Structure 1
């Protein structure tokens, strides 16, 4: 079985980490595993297993003819049987499929704004979906949407899975040990860092020695400037720290005390799974599949865009160490049992075998 994961970049993001995790996991599953980053490389390149065959296209535009021909040559040379395209890379996968009728295409929908699917534009996606042999959706909202709007007959819900990596530790978190809250989320509007900051501001009125650590890509756009301005305007510089993208995720999580996600919309956030693997107690908003991941008595769920509720959740954990310790243990066990690499890769391979037959 020769499978190519197709992804726009190897920047640190949810879809990118899933593509790398699948490519790495296939190495031990009697498959020849390939990964192609189409537009940009990034920190996740160092996470690739040495046995994964790697191609970087450096694609400059949607219809970059040279890149299309280069990928087509690669697919033929390596006798790729399945292209597993992630997110927007479906378009390039479709072009390659048109050139090669025996290629099978699996599309993986990681769409993060699943709470606002009514605003999704999908004319090109719908046209391309005729060529998809299977669609994986990271939450049940997306699965339902795909069955209603797309032309592929084979669609299924596939939860994400997290893998604990052991890259060289390089990041030391600021603040006092045992009093750190961490948020793994790129600086995007859907992640709603502003509600998180408002809640944290309320929290440190009673617990001034606690700190908040924001890990994720800074796009240096208007949203990023709004977040930074809020920190400055509210004199939070000594309690809130931004680190940008970092490769040593689990080293940073090992230094944290509480994991939080304050999103307005989500798919199935990999951050929550990573919090669980790292044995952190978690606080999350009730969006996407968060409630499916953070079951009762395993963490704290709050309504999105509600800084008061979120601050109350912070205080509940800060002021009850026994509770957060017990929740962290239960959550860790649940993630290990239900979102493991083993179970998800088994499901993926079963689909691969089915569509090849």
Structure 2
């Protein structure tokens, strides 16, 4: 089996990381595993394993003929069976399939605003789905949406997973006191609701002045970012809240942290929660997307309603006051993630689905 992952960039977003995770995981399990970035590279390039065949297309515009033919040449030279197209990279995948009709396209839907999918309309995606051989959805709501809205008869749900081979050889230097750090991994986008986290930090500071918040994620230097920095300044939180931007060794930050939070207003299946659990951190997260399918009971973590400042502060304070509970919760979440979201479990199912898809396609041709 010969599979290539296609993604627009290698910046530190969830879809981008999953493209790299799949390429890395498959490199030891199938005949050929490739990875293609279409528009730009980024920090995740340093996480690509040596056994993965990597190509950068340097695509300049929506329909870039040169990039399409670079992709076509790569696919032919490497005798690719499956294009695994992540998010918006479906577009160039469909264009190249028109020149190589035997290649199969798997589209991976990472859409993170899955609270109200009735508002999600995308005509180009709907038309493109006519050329899809299969769809992977990262949560059950997205699966139902694909089945009802798109023109592809083969849709499966596969949760995200973490590349366990990535390590933290390069240690990050964090502010604050050891044993008193609260971490959040989320790009600075409105749906991640950092505003709620900053409000909570102000209240936590009053009772626990030695505890600090450490925020990791891409800063887009836009109006939303400026708003967050303004809140930080006016609330006088500069000594308790620290923004680090995007890093390629977030595992190091998690290893130095004691409590993990995610205050999102919407999600698909966030990698952050899986990363938290893999490092045995106690987690406070909002009840959005498929988070409740990861944290299934109060022993594994604390789930609160979105935008509820009282619940957030109470939950964090309770964990600060009870070190034993923090350790027990981290251990339980780790066991749950290894059982249900471990790389081996997901990749085994993925390869099985590809084989089923081949049989499904053969039956349709009869």
TM-score where L is the length of structure 2: 0.96
Q: 1:80 and 1:72 mapped to 2: Cα distance?
A: 10
Q: Who is 2:209 aligned against?
A: 208
1:96-148: CA deviation from partner (whole Å, max 9, x where unpaired): 11111100000000000001322223111110111111100001110111111
Q: Who is 1:290 aligned against?
A: 291
Consecutive unaligned residues of structure 1, counting only runs of 5 or more, are none
Verify: 1:326 aligned to 2:328, yes or no. yes
Question: What is the SS of the residue equivalent to 2:293?
Answer: helix
- Give the aligned CA root-mean-square deviation in angstroms: 1.0
Q: Who is 1:345 aligned against?
A: 347
Q: Who is 2:219 aligned against?
A: 218
Q: 1:355 and 1:289 mapped to 2: Cα distance?
A: 25
Verify: 1:155 aligned to 2:155, yes or no. yes
Q: Who is 1:275 aligned against?
A: 276
1:57–1:67 contact (8 Å) kept in structure 2: yes
Q: Who is 2:177 aligned against?
A: 176
Q: 2:59 and 2:101 mapped to 1: Cα distance?
A: 23
State the shift of 1:74 in Å. 1.1
Consecutive unaligned residues of structure 2, counting only runs of 5 or more, are 360-366
Q: 2:104 and 2:284 mapped to 1: Cα distance?
A: 40
Q: 1:348 and 1:18 mapped to 2: Cα distance?
A: 13
Q: Who is 1:135 aligned against?
A: 135
1:178–1:257 contact (8 Å) kept in structure 2: yes
Q: 1:65 and 1:84 mapped to 2: Cα distance?
A: 20
Q: Who is 1:186 aligned against?
A: 187
State the shift of 1:167 in Å. 4.4
Q: 2:56 and 2:116 mapped to 1: Cα distance?
A: 33
Q: Who is 1:257 aligned against?
A: 258
Q: Who is 1:32 aligned against?
A: 32
Q: Once superposed, which parts of structure 1, at least 4 consecutive aligned residues long, lie more than 6 Å away?
A: none
TM-score where L is the length of structure 1: 0.98
Alignment length (residue pairs):
357
1:26-52: CA deviation from partner (whole Å, max 9, x where unpaired): 111133000001111111111111010
Q: Who is 2:68 aligned against?
A: 68
Q: 2:64 and 2:168 mapped to 1: Cα distance?
A: 34
Q: 2:171 and 2:39 mapped to 1: Cα distance?
A: 26
Q: Who is 1:304 aligned against?
A: 306
Q: 1:134 and 1:252 mapped to 2: Cα distance?
A: 37
1:301-348: CA deviation from partner (whole Å, max 9, x where unpaired): 111111221111111101111111111111111111110111110111
Q: 1:355 and 1:321 mapped to 2: Cα distance?
A: 48
State the shift of 1:201 in Å. 1.1
2:268–2:290 contact (8 Å) kept in structure 1: yes
CA gap of 1:6–1:248, structure 2 versus 1, over 3 A, is: same
